[in-house]
Amino acid sequence: MQITSVNIRRIEKENSRMKGIASVLIDDCFAVHDIRIIQGDNGLFIAMPSRLQNGEYRDIAHPINQETRKLFEDAIFEAYNNAEVKVAFEKVVEEPVSEVTEEPAEELTEESTE
């Protein structure tokens, strides 16, 4: 088995332990989406896609052995470390308002209306 592609969407959200979402392509023929990259107390780890069933989260897809899990982790962490940070907010720029001075209008005379 070979991981042929990893796509990362980094998440930069204050006070969030989730740091990104990964999609992995295996042997150019099988994709696993929604692998979460989470900041734990001892560093980053991955959480495989899961769903809530009977009050418990159950993995939808997951590695069967430690060797395969390490293969996933290494590929995902390498891609994560090389991914560009895409900030999910717009920068608001406030420009100073220039002062407007009012000047009286010129008086109309007969000469200016001719």
Domains parsed from the chain with CATH numbers: 3-82 (3.30.1120.40)
Contact 61, 48 (CB under 8 A): yes
Beta strands in the chain (DSSP E): 3-10, 18-26, 30-40, 43-47, 50-53, 56-59
Q: Which of 4, 11, 6 is nearest to 84 (CA)?
A: 11
Q: What is the pLDDT of residue 88?
A: 46
Check whether 21 has a pLDDT greater than 80: yes
- pLDDT at position 102 is 52
Q: Tell me the per-residue pLDDT of 37-71, one tens digit each, with 9 for 90 and over.
A: 999 999 999 999 999 989 998 999 999 999 999 99
Could you tell me the CA-to-CA distances from 98 to 57, 95, 103 in Å, in that order? 58, 9, 16
> In DSSP terms, which residues pair with 11 in a beta bridge?
none
Query: For the segment 72-84, what is each residue's pLDDT rounded down to a tens digit?
Result: 999 999 999 987 6
Per-residue pLDDT band for 26 (boundaries 50, 70, 90) equals very high
